[in-house]
Structure 1
Amino acid sequence: MQVHLVGGFLGSGKSTAIAMACKALAERKITAGVVTNDLGRYLVDTAFFDAQKIPAVQVTGGCLCSQYDDLLIKLDRLKRAVQPEVIFIETVGCSADLVAAVIKPLLEVRGPHDGNITFSVFADTRLLSLWASGESVPFSNKVMYLYGRQMEEAGLIVLNKRDLVSPGRARQALEDARSRFPAKQIALQNSLDPLQIDIWLDELDALSRRSTPLNSLQLEYNHYAEGRSALGWLDVNLDFTSQSISNHRPMVIDWITALEREFRQRNIGLGHLKMMVKAGKTDARVSLTTGDAAGWRAQVPDLRCREMHALVNIRAEADPTLLRELVQQTAQSAAGRAESQVEEKETEVFRPDYPKPKRRVP
C-alpha cells in the first residue's frame, strides 16, 4: 500500500489535486482513500471528498504532529473500510516539521515491504513567484517563514496552478524555485489537467519505490509558532431560508463578492476561503484565495431550493473574530437583498496554538 503525504501552504490546491488523483486511480481500477487534517472540526474538504464519493476520514483538533495517535487510528479505520491500495494524507496548511513528526514515526510502524512514504509540498505558482522574486506578498514575514520552511523539507515541490500565470511567469517561477531549493525535485502543475495529474501519480509511484530518505527539518519552533499564530481560523455553518423555492446562486455570488471585497479593502492576506453549499440534491464547493479574480463564480451552480446550508472555512492573516463579523455581516446583507433569512449554527473561531509534536524522530 502506497502512502503519499501532501503538504503545503493554505490555498495551494492540495485538495483539488488529491481529488483528481483519486479519480485517475479509479479509472486505473486502483482503490484510493484520503485522510484530511485540520485544526478545526468542521471541514469543507471532508465534505467535498464525501460528495465526490471518495473514501475519506479526518484528523481534527490539531495538526498531524500533535494528533499522531489519532492519525494511526484513522489510517487503520480507512484500511479496514475500503482496503485502499493508495492513501493520500493531506496536511493542514499551517504545518511543518512533518518528516520528523509524521513520516519517520509512520515508517517505524510500516512493514519492511510497504515502501517509502512520499512527501509532496504544493505551492501556488503565483505566490511562489512573488516571494522568490522579492516582490510584495499578501502575508507578513512571520507567515512567510512558515511558507519557506514547508518547502525545505519536501521530497517533491509542486508549483501548482501554473495555468493562472503566463507561460513566461511560470518558467521564471520554476527557475527561481530551483535557485532557492537546488537539491529539490520541482515540477510545474495544473491540477485540473488529468494528463498532468497522471504525471504526478507516476512520479509518486516512482518515489515510493525508492529508498531515498528524507531529512528532518531543522526548525526554530518559536518562529514556527509565531507564523502559525498570526493566522486566524474560522469555521462556520449557516442555514439560509426563503419563503418559496428560488435560485440561491445570485445570493451566494453576492455574498462571496462582498466578502472578497472586504478582505481586499482591509488588506487581509487570505490563505483560503472554502465553502461547501448544499441545496436540495446539489452539493457545490467554492474556493478562492488572495489574488483570485472572478473565476470562482463558475464554481457556483444553480441552487434551486427553499433551504440552503453553507459550511465556510476561512484561513487568513487576520483576527478571527473580525473574520466572523465579516461573514455574518455580508451573509445577512446578501440574504436580505434576496428576501431570505440566515441563521448561524455551529462555529469555531481561534488562532493556531503552539505546535507540540506527539512523537518526533530527529
Structure 2
Amino acid sequence: MKTRMILVGGFLGAGKTTLLLESARKLIEQGKRVGLITNDQASSLVDTAFLQRSGGSVVEVSGSCFCCNFNGFTDAITYLRVQNDVDIIIAEPVGSCTDLSATIMQPLKQTFKNELILSPLTVLVDPARLQDILDGGTSGLHPSAAYIVKKQLDEADMIVITKTDVLSSNALEVLKKKVSDTWAFAKVFALSAQRDEGLDVWLNEAKSCLDVGTHLTEVDYDIYAQGEAVLGWLNMTVSLQGHAIDWDSFALKVLEALAQRFDASTLAVGHVKVLIETEDQYVIGNLTGKKESLSIRGSAGIGNQAKMILNARVEMSPEELERTVKEVVSTLCSNNVIMQTPESIQCLSPGRPNPTYRYDYVVQ
C-alpha cells in the first residue's frame, strides 16, 4: 500500500507548523492515519512538541536539513510507514532551505516510486514578506537570505500565500495575480490555517494532484550558504518553577522583551517561537519580524511548574543570540520569582549546504 507524501517548504515564519497541525487534524477527522516529520539543524524543536498534540505520529530529523541528511529523512519515512502504518505523511523541511526539487523531490521520485505517492512541492510565503520581495525589496532580511526566499518560490509546484486574514479581499486578489504572473509554473493558493479559511482547497489539491517536482531552478550555493550563515540558530529547553505563575503572561513577556532587544538593534528576525507547557495545557507564541508580528495562542494556565522550549533564528552571531536570550529569560525569571533549570541549549550558525543528492534533471 502506497503512502501519500506532502512536502511543505517556505521561509522561517511562513506558517508551516500551523498548516501541518490543522491539516493533520482535518485528515485525522476523516479517518486517516497521519505522520508528521519536522526538521532542524539542532534538536529540541517547538514544532515537534507542538505537533505532538495533533493526534498524529511525529518524527524529528535533527542535526541537518533533509537535503543534507537524505538517508535520515527516508529513515523517518520508513519508520512512519512500517511502525505506524500511516496513510499520509506531511514533512516540514528547515525554513532556510531551498533547492528542494533537485535534492529531495527528484530522489524521492526515483527511489520511492513503489512506496510513495508524491504530492506537488508546496511552498508557503508570508504575504508581507512576499509583497516586499515582489516590489524589489528584501523584507528586512540580509540580501542573501532574501535570495533563499526567491529561490524557494522559483521551484514551487504550489505557492500558498498564508495569513490571509491580514489582507483585504482586493489586496489578496492583486497579490495572487502578481504571484501567478511572476511564477507561471506554480498553482497559487491563499489561506489562513489558523482561521480554517482556504485550507480545504489546498489540502484537497495536494492530496490528489500528481504534477510533482515539475521543474528545477538554478541555485548559487555561495549565496545560499551565506543566506543561512547570517542567522544565529538557538534551541533552548528549561524547566520553570515558581508559585501561582501566570504562564501565558510569562510567555508574552519573553517574546516582548526579545522583540524589544532585536528591534532596538535593527536585527532581522526569521522567527522566535516559545512553547510553555504544563501537564495538560500549553501556550505558544511566535515572533516573525518586528514586535508587531508577535502572536500568541493557547493557555498554559496558572501553576507552579512548567517546561519552556524556545527556538530563535535571528540575523546575529550565535554567541550574541545566546547571550541575549539567556539575559532576557534570567531577568524575567528573577522579576517573577521563577527558578529556572536548564535542560538543553544549542546555539549555532548553519554550515554550507552539502546535499546527499542533487539531480540536474526532472525524473519522469
Q: What secondary structure does 1:102 align onto?
A: helix
Q: How big is each residue's C-alpha offset from its partner over 1:190-248, in whole Å with a ceiling of 9 and x where there is no partner? A: 1123352111111112313x4x6522221111111111111110011122221x33333
Match of 1:7 in 2: 9
Q: What secondary structure does 2:351 align onto?
A: coil
Q: What secondary structure does 2:353 align onto?
A: coil
Partner letter of residue 206 of structure 1? S
Aligned length: 358
Q: Share of identical aligned residues, percent?
A: 22
Contact 1:278 1:310 in 2 (8 A): yes
- In the TM superposition, what are the counterparts of 1:79-158 in structure 2 within 5 Å? 79-112=81-114, 114-135=116-137, 137-158=139-160
Contact 1:279 1:304 in 2 (8 A): no
Q: CA deviation at 1:327?
A: 1.3
Q: CA deviation at 1:291?
A: 4.2
Contact 1:129 1:169 in 2 (8 A): no
TM-score normalized with structure 1 length: 0.93
Q: What secondary structure does 2:141 align onto?
A: coil
Could you say if the C-alpha distance between residues 266 and 168 of structure 1 is closer, same or farther in structure 2, counting changes exceeding 3 Å?
farther
- Following TM superposition, the consecutive aligned residue runs of length 4 or more in structure 1 with deviations greater than 6 angstroms are none
Residue 271, structure 1, aligned to residue 270, structure 2: yes
Counterparts of 1:282 and 1:165 in 2: how far apart (Å)? 31
Q: CA deviation at 1:168?
A: 3.3
Unaligned runs of 5+ in 2: none
The RMSD of aligned alpha carbons is 1.9
Partner letter of residue 334 of structure 2? G
Deviates more, 1:229-238 or 1:324-333: 324-333
Contact 1:10 1:271 in 2 (8 A): yes
Q: 2:315 aligns with which of 314, 317, 321?
A: 317
Counterparts of 2:290 and 2:147 in 1: how far apart (Å)? 20
TM-score normalized with structure 2 length: 0.93
Residue 359, structure 1, aligned to residue 357, structure 2: yes
Q: 2:305 aligns with which of 304, 307, 317?
A: 307
Counterparts of 2:247 and 2:17 in 1: how far apart (Å)? 26
Counterparts of 1:161 and 1:72 in 2: how far apart (Å)? 31
Counterparts of 1:78 and 1:9 in 2: how far apart (Å)? 25
Q: CA deviation at 1:7?
A: 0.5
Partner letter of residue 281 of structure 1? D
Counterparts of 2:171 and 2:312 in 1: how far apart (Å)? 28
Q: What secondary structure does 1:7 align onto?
A: strand
Residue 46, structure 1, aligned to residue 44, structure 2: no
Match of 1:225 in 2: 225
Q: CA deviation at 1:61?
A: 0.6
Partner letter of residue 52 of structure 2? D
Q: What secondary structure does 2:35 align onto?
A: strand
Unaligned runs of 5+ in 1: none
Counterparts of 1:320 and 1:24 in 2: how far apart (Å)? 38
Match of 1:60 in 2: 62
